[in-house]
Structure formats: structure tokens, C-alpha cells
Structure 1
């Protein structure tokens, strides 16, 4: 009776779904859309700022009630006072998480915009300290991966994404981002709220450096009606810089994604431009109440993604 092969064959690689894209492009939404269709997925965060505990609004973490019961890993789990996460650290920690998920016969879904972390996680050979995205770096991106990966790239035209990111910053401020940053940057607060006492992780979150400068000049504990006009101007300037820096981040992220694709990574591009154009139009007077953005998103992003994922899982 045959008992199986007598010599070990090539190692069968675990499957890993990877959702990539610039900041604000809808990665988290797509991850939940797919998890609702394929309930054996568990999500692993690959956003280097969202790893840290704190500043949930500023870092745009998905609130617990909005996770729809889908397990999320490495999302706000680490104390920023413990030090910075490097790509090598992420490779080790996320690798353990992925192994745990696959051992439970679930499928891991890596979701986030930190492409240096994604590269460190999935590249078969990774050299700590190296940066394949650094301008002039000699090493090419390797197409040899340690997992059987399916890459979904949610893309939005830069012109439309810029409009949306501006709208999103305003919404985050309306949701309490300013008060959150005021507490974090309070010079009279506890050390844990002093940005200077926090390693670079959370201090690098867009919003922190811009409003740190604002609060140094206009502490919340000292209100003076005489400087209200200057204070308002400084506030508006901080918001403008936040929006500019967010757009610059998106451009850098897209550049890294293109470098990975140029290195042989099979990225399946999903164009979400029409859906985001509809989102932006919702807040404009000329919006004629046409097709809802969620219907466009479903048709142009979710359905094609679900077909790709279904084939990937059946392979």
C-alpha cells in the first residue's frame, strides 16, 4: 500500500492575500468586503503607524465596532514607548501571526500601505537594513516570495485621490482629531502624551508634527481672545500642511508599489477612481444624486476582487 512520497518535495507555501494601495484608497473597506464573502479570512495590519497604541483618529484605525467581527492582528497592539518597529521586526512578528492563522486553517490577509513592511514580510530573502525603495539602491526587487501570494492593488487616480484626502482630513478633524492631538501634544500632560518622549513611531504620524508646532505657539491651556485671528490662521495652515503631506505620502506609496510591480510582483490592479469621484461629488452642490458610490465600488472593485480571490483559493 502506498504511504506517500519517499523523498521530500518542494515545500508547499502558505497562501497569503495582500491588499495594497495608497493611503485613503479603500484597503480596509475592501478587506472587510472580502472577509464577508470568505469568512475564513483574518486580517493582519501592515501599516507601520497603526501598529502602535494611541491616536486612533489621527492614524485612522478602524474602530472595533466597524470590524464586523473579523479578527484583526497587529492593529494598535504595541506601546510606542517600547521603541520603533523596523521592517525586520515586522517580518518576524507578522510571520508568527500568519503561521498561527494558517495553523488554525484560516487564511491571512495582509492589509496596509507600508510597502517596506510588505516587502520585508513576503520576500523570500530579506536583508535587514537594506531598502530596495531607496533612490539609487543597487539591489533589485526579488520576485521570489516566501508565501503563495495574491496581490490586490486598489488604485485611484491622483487627481481624484487628492480631493478625497482633503475631504477625509476634514472629516477626521470633525470626528475629534484636533482634541486627540491637543491631549497628545499637551506640554503639561503626562510623559506618555509628550511627543518628545515618544519614539519616532507615533511622532511620524501625519498630524503630530504639524499640530505640535501649533500647540507650542498656542497652548490649549492658555486662551487669549486677542490672538484668535492669528490662532485661526495657524490652525488653517497646520491643516493645509497635513493635507499636503498626506498627498505626498500617497505619491510615495504609489511609487513603491510601481517599483514592486516592476520587480516582477504580480499585482492585480483595481481601479477605484469612479467610486471615489462619486464620494467627492456627494459634498458638492452640483451633485445630481446619480449612481451611489457604493454601487460603483461594488461593481468595479469588490466583484472583480472576489473573482480573483476565489480563483486564488481554489488553486
Structure 2
């Protein structure tokens, strides 16, 4: 099966999380008179904050949620092309806000972006510091305002539920982790939201995620990590910002034993120890990706149950089962299932939402 035949979150039309800007995005470059440090580092995250809106009015916002690999980005493009010139997308993946590691973090290449404007994607230098949920709230809020000023509807897409929560709640407390059992989750939101939750059986999704990792490695992920990782990196450096991306810690350990060289870092047939270390790193990436999916699903359920968020669940299990079991390399069967069971249902939900006063 080719990479373009199933919904990898990072290459084909089927999983899209980044776009060239056919409309102007929010400008985040610091003025020359200010110190040259990242804009978000100068923001006052402060205590609990509120954002005033005109009485009786809240801007509309479509939110696509789901575990890693569940098809959020594919659905965002399906909807954006079904409702042409209606949507602009705001990225809510905490790794994809940074520049670099496009394969490892599953950013979509420019040719597959289909002209849908994206914001806060690949925009920040990871060397400038780590973007916090409070800072994301301010920047994404600016993007929402800019999009609505163009009479378009923002679409928030990504799997980082801490960022989603930070942007959407009316009252946000930066120091509180609402995903801990003792913390309350607010049902009062800043925006008029339409929530789409793309879900799938965890067993089927795990099989797909394993397949996706293999495809990413075949597409240059290892070479990308070899350029990014420094063998002398200590554990503390690995756990900040973009270095938290799955693939970086796992292969940093591999590169400490086998420093990157000009040729491919894949295990050589004549070096069983090196080959074993490579397989161990790949296995760790797959295991950690599946664990991330479990954690994300648990957070989504908490928002739905404890927060009372009205999440419309879309079951993509059969589509992903077709991906991992079908021998049809053109992906026709999975695409037909996806269209019928996920896209058509989503279009109906979004259409009703857009037509509401």
C-alpha cells in the first residue's frame, strides 16, 4: 500500500494539518523596538483571565478533536473543500506549532494543502522557548478574531487537548491542570462551538499507528531526526519544546550509541547489534504513540463527561480497519467508507451549525 492510499497524518490528502495562506494570517513578528525574543515569552499569562464578548453574541468555531492518527486533518480538509471559502484552520497540535521536524510531527507538504489557510502551524522557532497553553490562548484568540473579521469561520484542529481547553473556556486558569481528577472543567465557553470528535476502536487504531510509523520512516523520518538530534543532548534538553515530539527521545538514545553519519542510519544487515538497537527505537516510538492516543482519548472523555462539552462522536473504525486489512493499494475501499461514515455525517452537523442564527 502506498503512502497516498491511506490517511497518514502527514503526507497525503488523507491527513492534512498545514496550509499555505491564501488569506492573510495573524502577524506575530515582534516590532523592531522590542527585545528580540519570542513574542509568547513577553506575554503576561497572569492569573485567571476572561475575554469580553458583545452581549448575546459569540463567534462560531468548529472544533475537530481526536487521538493522534484518527483522521482529524483529513476531515478538516474534507469540510473546508465541501464549504469552499468558508473556513480557515487554526492548528492545536502542540508539536506542530514549531518549525522543523515536518515528517516526525506529521506536517502536510505544501502541495497537499489545497489552498486552505492555516494558522499557528510551523510558525515558531523551537529555540525560542516552549509555548504554554496560556500563550496559545492569546495567539489563537487573535487568529480567531482575524478570521472572523474576514467573515470566515475558524476551524480548530489538533490533538493537544490542553491547548483546546485553554483557548475555548471562558475563564482560564493557567496554573490549573483540569485533566487531573480533582480539577473542575468549565462548561462555559468563549465561542459558539461545534465539536466533532473523530474516534476509532483503539485496537484498530493501534494497528494503523504502527503502520504509519513504518511509512514515516520510509519517507525520511530517520534522516530528519539524524540532522535534528545531537548525540550529546542530555535528558533535560530532550524533554522541552519540540524535543518532546515522539521520535526525538527514542532516536536520541539510538544516536548516542550510533552517532549519525552521512549514510542512512538504518541497521545494516551485517550489524545485528545496531539493527537490534534500531528496532528497539522503532518499537518504542510505536508504543509511545499508542500510549499518547490512549491519553488523548481519556482527556476527550473527561471534557465530554466532566465538562459537559457537546462532542459529536464520529466512528471511523471501519475506515481504518480497511486501511490495515485491505490489499487494495489504491485505497478506494477505505476512502468510500470514510466518505460515507465520517464525512457525510460531519457535513450534516456542520451545515446545521452554520445555518443557526
TM-score clears 0.5:
yes
User: CA offsets, 1:195-248, max 9 Å, x none?
Assistant: 976771111000000000000001123999897110000000000000000000
**For 1:293-308, what aligned pairs fall within 5 Å after superposition?**
293-308=334-349
User: CA offsets, 1:236-283, max 9 Å, x none?
Assistant: 000000000000000000000000000200000000000000011135
Q: Say whether the 8 Å CA contact 1:80–1:199 is kept in structure 2.
A: no
Q: CA deviation at 1:64?
A: 1.5
Q: CA deviation at 1:305?
A: 0.1
Which protein has the larger Cα radius of gyration, Structure 1 or Structure 2?
Answer: 1
1:36 match: 81
Figure out how many residues of one structure are paired with residues of the other and give that number: 299
2:220 match: 176
2:32 match: none
Q: Determine the C-alpha separation between the residues in 1 that align with 2:348 and 2:234.
A: 47
SS across alignment from 2:250:
helix
Shift of the 216–260 alpha-carbon distance from structure 1 to 2, 3 Å rule, reads: same
2:229 match: 185
SS across alignment from 1:50:
coil
Bigger drift between 289-298 and 74-83 goes to 289-298
Q: Determine the C-alpha separation between the residues in 2 that align with 1:81 and 1:46.
A: 20
1:89 match: 135
2:157 match: 111
Q: Say whether the 8 Å CA contact 1:81–1:198 is kept in structure 2.
A: no
1:75 match: 121
SS across alignment from 1:311:
helix
User: CA offsets, 1:13-51, max 9 Å, x none?
Assistant: 000000000000000000000000112100000000000
Q: Is the helix fraction higher in 1 or 2?
A: 1
1:210 match: 250
Q: Determine the C-alpha separation between the residues in 2 that align with 1:198 and 1:147.
A: 36
SS across alignment from 1:259:
helix
Shift of the 288–65 alpha-carbon distance from structure 1 to 2, 3 Å rule, reads: closer
1:15 match: 60
Q: 157, 176, 181: which one pairs with 2:201?
A: 157
Q: Determine the C-alpha separation between the residues in 1 that align with 2:300 and 2:72.
A: 14
Shift of the 199–97 alpha-carbon distance from structure 1 to 2, 3 Å rule, reads: farther
SS across alignment from 1:78:
coil
RMSD, aligned CA: 2.4
User: CA offsets, 1:50-92, max 9 Å, x none?
Assistant: 0000000000011111110000111100000110011101000
2:304 match: 261
SS across alignment from 1:108:
strand
1:5 match: none
Q: Say whether the 8 Å CA contact 1:42–1:72 is kept in structure 2.
A: yes
Q: Say whether the 8 Å CA contact 2:238–2:244 is kept in structure 1.
A: no
Q: 182, 185, 204: which one pairs with 1:141?
A: 185
Shift of the 208–313 alpha-carbon distance from structure 1 to 2, 3 Å rule, reads: same
SS across alignment from 2:171:
coil
Shift of the 77–194 alpha-carbon distance from structure 1 to 2, 3 Å rule, reads: farther
Name structure 2 gaps, 5 residues minimum: 1-52
Shift of the 197–51 alpha-carbon distance from structure 1 to 2, 3 Å rule, reads: same
User: CA offsets, 1:102-146, max 9 Å, x none?
Assistant: 001011000000000000000011101111002x32x32111100
Shift of the 273–128 alpha-carbon distance from structure 1 to 2, 3 Å rule, reads: same
